[in-house]
Structure 1
Amino acid sequence: MTVPPPGRRERKKAATRQAIADAALQLFLERGYDQVSIRDIADAADVSTTTVFKHFTGKEALVFDQDEDRESQLVAAVRQRAAGQSILDALRQHALDTWLPIAAHPQSAEFLSLVESTPALRAYAERMWTRHTDSLSAAIADEVGVDHDDLACVALARFVLEIPLLARGRQDRPAAVEAIFDMLAHGWEPPRKPTGPRST
């Protein structure tokens, strides 16, 4: 069944939400998270504070404005994967297609610095990460027909969600993602020492 495109009202709502989130992030990066109020954000986005709260539950949610979409995409990668595609391969493709472009964004380093230097945002990110782990592990468990608290499914979800952090500082991020997924698929093996001429 073809999904109809969003109507004018939905497009306008989405545009307003994005404008508020963009204004908030710009102010947070310029002034620091604690120095910016909801009123400042509303003024910068040219909306009322009531409108801000219609779209976001609070300041933390403004920073992670795409959180719900990313969580649903993560679950969909498992549940809506192609016939014959393994769960790991579906998650590998999802990581390559969605996480790597985020990591390559010009503001990625500034954004991470903002989160890591702000206790409220670090705490929010941790709660978000835990929720994503629960959602992903439940989706994996459903696909293989086991309980949601199955240790193997929970462990796999946690490992997969750590991959962006593990690959972030690598020069070749796609190769790092591929290497980690290969390890998850085939098991860990001790790294081989580099071979070269022996010193005399």
Structure 2
Amino acid sequence: MTDTESGSAPVAMGRRERKKAATRQAIADAALRLFLERGYDDVGIREIADAADVSTTTLFKHFPVKEALVFDEDADQEARLLAAVRERPTGQSVPAALREHALRHRMATADSDPRFTAFFDLVNDTPALRDYVQAMWLRHTAALARVIAEESGLAADDPACTALAHFALEVPRAARGHADVREAVTRAFDLLETGWRALVPDA
């Protein structure tokens, strides 16, 4: 229920919270700009702090490791991922919903905006970032497995749900490097779809 529906006014972000959010965004923007200009490995933390006009101590309060400067939407990504399964159209399978999510949110934006292409090139060309984003992405496995179980009428600890979640989250990495990434993603999910349909025909 929203604040409007419950009859109460939405709670506005306080001045302190607004300042913290603005500082965090300034740091992230400065880091990404420098990384895109010079490469991730050639930019130091102090340079980023100077560009954002903050101390290195402040920077680390917002971003505990250098890699985190590039990825600032982990919670939002998980929410969108789970919603893709929960809110899928009637009759659409779980693997099909996850395939559409992968194609829509991880690839379509890159096709429509050169900045996203540059961002994905930065990640793909930097081993530390590739490893970090994969580890970050796989942290959603448990949450995704729970939702798959709920939507499929299976036990919460069913290993099939965990396996589907894990391999669905691995698909972008499996598709990396292929000449036609979209086709590679689709082919990988076709395999998951076939196995899932055999196990859970109505999910």
TM-score by length of 2: 0.68
Contact 1:103–1:168 (CA<8 Å) still a contact in 2? no
Match of 1:107, SS state, is helix
Show the counterpart of 1:145.
154
Aligned-residue CA RMSD in angstroms?
Answer: 3.5
AA partner of residue 32 (structure 2) = L
AA partner of residue 114 (structure 2) = P
Alignment of 1:6-155 (within 5 A): 6-9=12-15, 10-79=17-86, 86-104=93-111, 105-143=113-151, 144-148=153-157, 150-155=158-163
1:72-92 Cα offsets, whole Å, 9 max, x none, are: 321233345577765345434
The structural deviation recorded for 1:23 is 1.0
Taking structure 1 as reference, are residues 111 and 49 closer, same or farther at Cα in structure 2, changes over 3 Å only? same
TM-score by length of 1: 0.69
Alignment of 1:119-198 (within 5 A): 119-143=127-151, 144-148=153-157, 150-165=158-173, 166=175, 173=182, 181=189, 184-186=192-194
The structural deviation recorded for 1:109 is 4.1
**Cα distance between partner residues in 2 of 1:122 and 1:100:** 16
Taking structure 1 as reference, are residues 120 and 139 closer, same or farther at Cα in structure 2, changes over 3 Å only? same
AA partner of residue 60 (structure 1) = E
1:132-185 Cα offsets, whole Å, 9 max, x none, are: 33332233234433243x332233223322444538856694x77666555543
Q: Give unpaired runs (5+ residues) of structure 2.
A: 4-9, 197-203
1:38-73 Cα offsets, whole Å, 9 max, x none, are: 221111122232332222112111112222321232
**Cα distance between partner residues in 1 of 2:163 and 2:169:** 10
